């Protein structure tokens, strides 16, 4: 199984993840962020007073039986956020160049899963009907250990009952996968779990109908 690797964080990773996205549809980049970058972004998230219960669907209704996380949309108005968004822009450019993916823009939010919070199995976009093309999840948990919970379970895009992998939410790691293809869920957290969830989007106003 092809797994992408990194070298020295944003701007310094190798491009093996492109091959993984092409061959298997998802890629894990361990150590994408440095410990210092993880600490800076996590501190910003923890200091915010703007957390809101995450909603479900276009209406954004809160459904506690489906998800119990809280979110803050990233504004890109601080140094750590600007650095992170610059790294995502490099990924957008590389993926477009290599895979002709038509990624037009990127949006992201901080996510907080307090103890007991989870997100049931779902997909991030309906096939051919959504603007989200490529999902990213970057973890901000520097001391995560087995037993802390909050793993992301990635399911097969051809057999939704088959588990591909359990992704540990270890600080600095980045997960990428095609938004329409892979069902996934977040298992209940047993300690505070922080991450940045993001989506590279297509321009649906100019995209050709699928």
pLDDT at 14: 65
pLDDT digits (tens, 9 = 90+) for 16-63: 899 999 999 999 999 999 999 999 999 999 999 899 987 665 555 667
CATH for 34-54+66-201 is: 2.60.120.620
| Residues β-bridged to residue 113 | 193
Assess contact for 137 and 32: CB atoms under 8 A.
no
Residues 74-129 have pLDDT tens digits of 999 999 999 999 999 999 999 999 999 999 999 999 999 999 999 999 999 766 56
What's the token pair of residue 113?
Answer: 């899963």
Strand partners, 174: 29, 138
Q: In the predicted model, what is the mean pLDDT of residues 166-187?
A: 97
Residue with tokens 């300690």: 191
Say how far residue 139 (Cα) sits from the centre of its chain.
Answer: 8
pLDDT at residue 60, rounded to an integer: 56
């Amino acid at each position: 199984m092809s797994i992408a690797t990194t070298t020295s964080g944003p701007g310094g990773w190798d491009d093996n993840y492109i091959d993984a996205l092409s061959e298997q549809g998802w890629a894990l980049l361990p150590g994408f962020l440095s410990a210092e970058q993880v600490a800076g972004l996590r501190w910003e998230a923890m200091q915010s007073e703007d957390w809101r219960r995450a909603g479900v669907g276009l209406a954004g209704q809160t459904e506690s039986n489906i998800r119990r996380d809280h979110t803050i949309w990233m504004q890109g108005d601080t140094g750590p956020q600007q650095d992170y968004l610059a790294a995502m822009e490099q990924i957008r450019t590389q993926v477009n160049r290599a895979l002709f993916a038509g990624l037009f823009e990127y949006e992201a939010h901080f996510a907080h899963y307090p103890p007991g919070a989870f997100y049931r199995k779902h997909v991030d976009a309906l096939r051919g009907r959504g603007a989200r093309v490529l999902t990213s999840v970057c973890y901000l948990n520097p001391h995560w250990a087995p037993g802390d919970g909050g793993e992301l379970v990635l399911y097969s895009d051809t057999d939704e009952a088959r588990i591909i992998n359990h992704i540990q939410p270890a600080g600095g790691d980045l997960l990428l996968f095609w938004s329409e293809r892979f069902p996934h869920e977040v298992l209940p957290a047993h300690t505070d779990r922080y991450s940045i969830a993001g989506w590279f989007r297509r321009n649906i106003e100019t995209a050709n109908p699928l």
